[in-house]
Copies of this chain bind each other. A is one copy, B any other.
Amino acid sequence: MFKTVEWKKTGVVMIDQRLLPEKEVYRTYKDYKGVAGAIKDMVVRGAPAIGVSAAMGVALGAAKIKGKDIKSFKKEFEKITSLLASTRPTAVNLFWGIERMKRVVEENLALSIPELKKRLIEEAQQVYKEDIEINRLIGKHGGSLLKDGATVLTHCNAGALATAGYGTALGVIRGAVEAGKKIAVYADETRPFLQGARLTAWELKKDKIDVTLITDNMAGYIMKKGLIDAIVVGADRIAANGDVANKIGTYSVAVLAREHKIPFYVAAPLSTIDLNIKHGDEIPIEERDSTEVTHMKGRRVAPLGIKVRNPAFDVTPNKLVSAIITEKGVVRNPYKKGLKALFAK
């Protein structure tokens, strides 16, 4: 099985998701700037995987700090965390992962610099391990929501490739399959970056889970035909009221789901829930380069100089979300109360 991101003595190793499914290439990043570039350029993507990668990037950068005293260490450390925090704006896991590493420094100011560096590496590896455990719990809780023989539609890739492993939305599907249920999947190709066609189809096929690929604009047709029993997607940031920011197109899927009375589930770890954000409208939406839309595999498919919009995410209002599946259980409306309670557990 592939590894999405991994800490090794040689550096942080990532599978280059831009080249899948054609090529399975692993890249090793030996400094934090390389990790930041990998996040920005989407070598690695998916909110939880970005969080893990950011934590590893911080540890990698910290390990190479020259400063011998804590004051100069913290000055260098600040440079590292702010560069990593500047890579992508929407997925809150990025900031969560960095904050967690910052906390390690604040709580261990008494340690020697070498000990502190060691402690940061341990923490990054801990974040990685926890993410896989969390996804397995999400899969266990969410899997119970899927009936045996169900056909599930998913959008983008919230799978092993979007996390340290196992996946959130695909973790729910894997959880159901491991519970002995027969599950079939329809995967939206997810333009413009094609995470569904290139990544979701690829990893489900590797797992021998029945998957059918469609273009995003076929989802309504497939739902109208009565072929879909449930929809499961991941999330990049969930507001305190349950509004969900996720890959562009998720909102359209949610509207279509309600039109066809199909349950719409969001699977995400607590690290994706941002209680500091009241409503989805406050979530910053990244706009990416227009060439993602105008070019495919380097070849132009639109007129030269055409105006383009390329929002990478959209926000699905809580009223369209049937349930949010987390490692601490399943939350339903009213979300404000339910999500807050998760953090008290």
Give me the interface of A with B, judged by CB distance under 8 Å: 21-22, 186, 188-192, 194, 197-198, 201-202, 205, 210-222, 224, 248-249, 251-252, 255-256, 259, 293-294, 296-297, 299-311, 314
Contact = CB atoms under 8 A, between A and B. Distances in A.
A342 to B, nearest CB: 27
The quantity of this chain's copies bound in the complex is 2
Contact of A197 (B224, B248, B301): B301
Contacts of A197: 293-294, 301-302, 306
B215 A216 contact: yes
B222 A309 contact: yes
Given A215-B191, A216-B215, A202 B303 contact: yes
A202 B251 CA distance: 28
18 contacts: A21-B304, A197-B301, A201-B302, A211-B306, A212-B307, A213-B293, A213-B294, A214-B310, A217-B248, A218-B249, A218-B314, A220-B252, A221-B248, A221-B311, A224-B251, A296-B297, A296-B299, A297-B297
Contact of A189 (B22, B191, B201): B191
A185 to B, nearest CB: 10
A301 B249 CA distance: 19
Question: Interface residues of A: mostly helix, strand, loop or mixed?
Answer: mixed
Given A190-B217, A220-B251, A296 B294 contact: no
Contact of A201 (B212, B303, B311): B303
A296 B293 contact: no
Given A197-B294, A303-B21, A220 B255 contact: yes
A47 to B, nearest CB: 18
Contacts of A211: 306-307
A301 B194 contact: yes
Nearest to A214: B309
Contact of A191 (B191, B221, B255, B309): B191
A296 B256 CA distance: 27
Contacts of A300: 21-22
